[in-house]
């Protein structure tokens, strides 16, 4: 009777030892791949944006100015309640964005010219509250016109604004707007894509005639 009890205890001990050993081995196997590595959470990611090639076509010839506009965009008459003749929206349906173009005649009037310049700078300055920075770049177009481009960074509704003029007859202003709640970080590739279109507009711009 004693031998049977002793053997039963030995058997039970071996079984428990085997179970414990198995648990330890499994735990070691699960932990080993992480040894020597610090776990870091993955950064928040954005959806990959595949952008088309830049292709352009001439603007309609019914306006007092012309330039090459992206084939990814649709040109419509401005729907602003304050819109004047020759104001247009260059809309990007795929990006939920638009470049709003306004146009004024200077009529060789220095006072009007100063007013348009001041208004362009004031409209850009309105975004200073939310903008981290506003960088101003002055360029000369191939046709000899002066253009000023404002690059705005931060959570602003308009990332680029610009104007171009011959200082005597024509004054054209543009502003890029996104009609979306997305963060500008996630829109960065699209913003850069449209920035290139804006520069192409400026470099291909020509004045046609004065609107009446």
pLDDT tens-digit map of 166-198: 999 999 999 999 987 556 677 899 999 999 999
Over residues 12-30, the pLDDT tens digits come to 545 556 555 655 555 545 5
For the residues 133-154, what does the mean pLDDT come to? 95
Closest CA to 155 of 136, 190, 182: 182
Q: What are the residue boundaries of the structural domains of the chain, listed by start?
A: 2-34, 56-207
Query: Rounded mean pLDDT of the chain?
Result: 83
Quickly tell me which residue has 């595949």 as its tokens. Answer: 50
The model's pLDDT over 29-88, given as tens digits with 9 standing for 90+, comes to 554 444 444 545 544 444 556 899 999 999 988 999 999 999 999 999 999 999 999 999
CB atoms within 10 A of CB 72: 20
3-state DSSP call for residue 49? Answer: coil
**Residue 3 confidence (pLDDT):** 54
> Is the model more confident about 116 or about 5?
116
Identify the pLDDT of residue 198: 98
Residue carrying structure tokens 């990959």: 48
Q: How far apart are CA 168 and CA 175, in angstroms?
A: 22
At the topology level, CATH places domain 56-207 in: Protein Transport Mog1p; Chain A (3.40.1000)
DSSP states of 52-112: PPP-EEEPPTTSSEE-EEETTSEEEE---TT--TT-EEEEETTTTEEEEEEEEE-TT-HHH
The predicted structure's pLDDT at residue 104 = 97
pLDDT one-digit tens code per residue, 85-126: 999 999 999 999 999 999 999 999 999 999 999 999 999 998
**Nearest Cα to 207, choosing from 161, 151, 158, 144?**
144
pLDDT band at 128 (very low <50, low <70, confident <90, very high): confident
pLDDT of residue 138: 97
Residue with the bigger pLDDT between 6 and 195: it is 195
SS3 of the chain: helix, strand, coil, percent, to 5: 35, 30, 40
Report how far apart the first and last C-alpha atoms of the chain are (Å, whole number).
121
Using alpha carbons, select from 176, 83, 200 the residue that is nearest to residue 127. 176
């Amino acid at each position: 009777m004693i031998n049977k009890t002793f053997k039963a205890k030995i058997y039970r001990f071996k079984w428990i030892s085997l179970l414990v050993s198995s648990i330890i081995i499994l735990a070691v196997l699960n932990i080993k791949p992480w040894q020597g590595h610090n776990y870091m959470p993955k950064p928040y990611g954005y959806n990959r944006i595949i952008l088309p090639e830049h292709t352009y076509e001439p603007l309609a010839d019914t306006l007092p100015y012309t330039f090459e506009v992206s084939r990814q965009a649709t040109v419509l008459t401005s729907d602003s309640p304050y819109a004047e003749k020759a104001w247009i929206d260059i809309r990007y349906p795929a990006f939920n964005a638009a470049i709003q173009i306004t146009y004024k005649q200077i009529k060789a009037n220095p006072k009007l010219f100063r007013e348009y310049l001041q208004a362009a700078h004031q409209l850009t300055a309105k975004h200073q509250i939310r903008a981290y920075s506003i960088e101003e770049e002055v360029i000369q177009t191939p046709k000899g016109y002066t253009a000023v481009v404002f690059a705005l960074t931060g959570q602003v509704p308009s990332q680029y604004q610009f104007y171009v003029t011959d200082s005597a007859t024509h004054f054209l202003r543009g502003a890029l707007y996104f009609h979306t709640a997305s963060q500008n970080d996630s829109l960065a590739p699209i913003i850069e894509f449209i920035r290139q279109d804006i520069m192409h507009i400026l470099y291909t711009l020509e004045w046609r005639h004065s609107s009446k």
